[in-house]
Structures are given as structure tokens and as C-alpha cells.
Amino acid sequence: MELRHIHAFIAVAEELHFGRAAERLRLAQPPLSQQIRQLEKELGVQLFNRTTRSVQLTDSGEAFLTHARLVFRELNEAELAAKAAGSGQYGRVRIGFAGASSRFLLPQLAQGVQQKFPNIELVLQGQLYANAAQEALIKGDIEVGFVRLPFTVPGLNYRPIEEETLMCVVPADHWLTQKESITVTDLAQEPFVSFPRGSGSTMRAITHRVCWEHGFVPNVVQDAPDSYTIQALVAAGQGISLTLSSTIHIQQPGVKYLKLEGNVPRFQSAVAWRADNDSAAVASVIQVAESILPTPKHPLSTADASYLDSEE
């Protein structure tokens, strides 16, 4: 079935006159009549009742007209989509994020994309911790991920979006709350609540690495899948936990957030994407991130950047 035959059919169906339809299509009438006959032969039905005085659609013609119009409407939308996709205004972008640490930044990014590029569909995939998000990017399971610096892998581009300070979460009545300041060494004898091993959470790696650098291995007594559950367990007196300032908004009743003094690394949250991804839609999402998400004032130092991504 040729598109020109369908186009000819629509013209005749709307004009109900072969002469006017031919003029509209800038065709001679005999070729137009031939196209209609070819279409009817291919369909095996009669589309028009023709007399010397009138042209009327048959029941089959009425039914075919509805779908024929849809064909051309879809073709028009496909053409517009192809042109928009080439300019980065159309497409589908999957974004991976962890949850608590992306609570404020992800909505800003999503709203910004919706306002500037309403034809870009964002598919949001939660519970992808920073390391897991990087793995998903490399595999091509997502196009953009919320990650944490200085943890990086080759083949990805990064754009920092927020400074993060290392904090300690303790029960509200914990003895550490009586101190004017605390250091990592003060935590050596404390039970810890942390993310599970192999979860892809950078906080698990951070906890073990920071404690190891201060001369002890953390005594992790309980694992939990997310920051909300971890802080609830801390409030219940199950232990303490290390976290980052981006999760303080949880404000779990029954806990206090204490800043760690001394020699502790700095971190930054970032958006990441594959360096070889040439999608115009992905470039548009990153463009929005550049324009609306904050940029940390100070880059990570060499010491921070040397903080290896190793878990235990």
C-alpha cells in the first residue's frame, strides 16, 4: 500500500469530487482515478459509490478514512519528532538516583527539563546508589546518574553540583552530644549502622575508609538499605552512623547530627553521563543541569581526589 494512494483517497473523501480532489493534489483526474482503483483492488473493498452526479463514501470507505487520517497524523508527528530530536528537544532520558541525597536536586533538574524541553521524557530510576549508578551508566542502563565525587570511573563525564560535609548521626541522648567537637577517633568503640556490603553505596566505602585511616575498623552491627532506615535505627539506639550533609533534611526525630572535625575528606555530589554518549536529548538535560543546579565554589583538592573508591 503506497502513501500516495492513501493521500489520494483522503483528498477524494474530503472533497467528494474527483475533479476538485485532482486540482487539490495537482494531478490530472485520470491518474487520480487510477490510484483509487489500485487502492480498492489492494484492499479488496469498494471505498466510493460513484455516479455521474455524485461521489459518496461506502461503509468501508468511512472506516478506512478514520485510520488513513491517523496514518498521516502519525507521519507528521514522526517528522516533527525527528527534527526535534536532532536539536535535543525530543527524546527519552533515564536518570538514576539514590533517594535521600537527591531529594532537592533531582526535582529541580526534572522541573527545569520539563519547562525548557517538554518533549524530553525523563524516566527516573530510584535506589541507584552512587557506585551502582556509575555501573549502570557504563552498561548503558541509564543515561544520566547522580553520583559522588571523588569516586570516578573512566569513560564518564562529571559535573559537580553540591558540596557535601561528612557528618555523624547519633541518638539524641548519646554521650558524644555533650562534646564541643568530635573526631573520627571518638567513634572507635561505637557500634555502627551502615549500608549493606555490595549495595553500590559510597557511604559504606566512606565509612570503612575514614575509620581505617584513623586506626580502627568500624563495628557494623546492622545493615539498612537507605538513609531513612539507617537514621531510624540510630534513633532506636542500635548504633551510630556516618552520613553526608545532603541527608540532614531527613530530620529523623531522636537523633542529632554532629560535624566531624580534623582530617576528614570532602565530597561533592555530581551528575554523570557517558563521555561517548552523543544523544542530543542527554546534552539538553546536562545543559539544564549546568544552568539551574549550583556549582560548588571550591574544587576538590588533590588529597580529596586521591580518596580511593574501595569498600572495606
Would 180 be classed as within a structural domain? yes
> What is the per-residue pLDDT for 247?
85
Closest CA to 288 of 26, 152, 132, 95: 95
* 3-class SS of residue 284: helix
What integer pLDDT is reported at residue 312 of this predicted model? 39
Residue 122 and residue 179 in one domain: no
pLDDT exceeding 90 applies to what percent of the chain?
A: 56
Range of the domain at 136: 91-163+267-305
pLDDT confidence tier of residue 304, bands split at 50, 70 and 90: low
Q: Per the domain annotation, does 311 fall within a domain?
A: no
Q: End of a domain among 86, 105, 131?
A: 86
101 and 67 in a common domain: no
29 and 111 belong to one structural domain: no
How many angstroms separate the Cα of 282 from the Cα of each of 27, 122, 138, 274? 45, 10, 15, 10
Regarding whether 272 and 250 lie in a shared domain, the answer is no
Q: Given pLDDT bands bounded at 50, 70 and 90, which one contains residue 311?
A: very low
pLDDT in tens, 159-174: 998 888 899 999 999 9
The per-residue pLDDT for range 56-98, each reduced to its tens digit, is: 999 999 999 989 988 888 887 677 667 666 656 778 899 998 7
Q: Which CATH number fits the domain that encloses residue 159?
A: 3.40.190.10
The torsion angles phi and psi of 168, rounded to 5 degrees, stand at -120, 135
Rounded to the nearest integer, the mean pLDDT of the chain is 87
What's 13's domain CATH number?
A: 1.10.10.10
Same domain, 158 and 170: no
Flag whether 312 is in a domain: no
Which residues lie across from 192 on neighbouring strands? 220, 240
* Pair (53, 75) in one structural domain: yes
**pLDDT higher than 90, residue 149:** no
Specify if 14 maps to a domain. yes
Give the burial class of 140: count Cβ atoms within 10 A of its Cβ; 0-12 exposed, 13-18 middle, 19 or more buried.
exposed
- 36 and 96 share one domain: no
Which pTM does this prediction carry? 0.67
Q: How many domains does the chain divide into?
A: 3
- Select the more confidently predicted residue: 265 or 309: 265
Pick the more confident residue, 268 or 310.
268
Q: Mean pLDDT check: name the lowest of 144-148, 199-203, 215-219, 292-296.
A: 199-203
> Distance between CA atoms of 107 and 310, rounded to whole angstroms?
30
Between 34 and 87, the more confident residue is 34
pLDDT at residue 50 above 70?
yes
pLDDT in the model for residue 165: 87
Q: Report how far Cα 312 is from the mean position of its chain's Cα atoms.
A: 30
195-222 pLDDT per residue, tens: 988 777 888 888 999 999 999 999 999 9
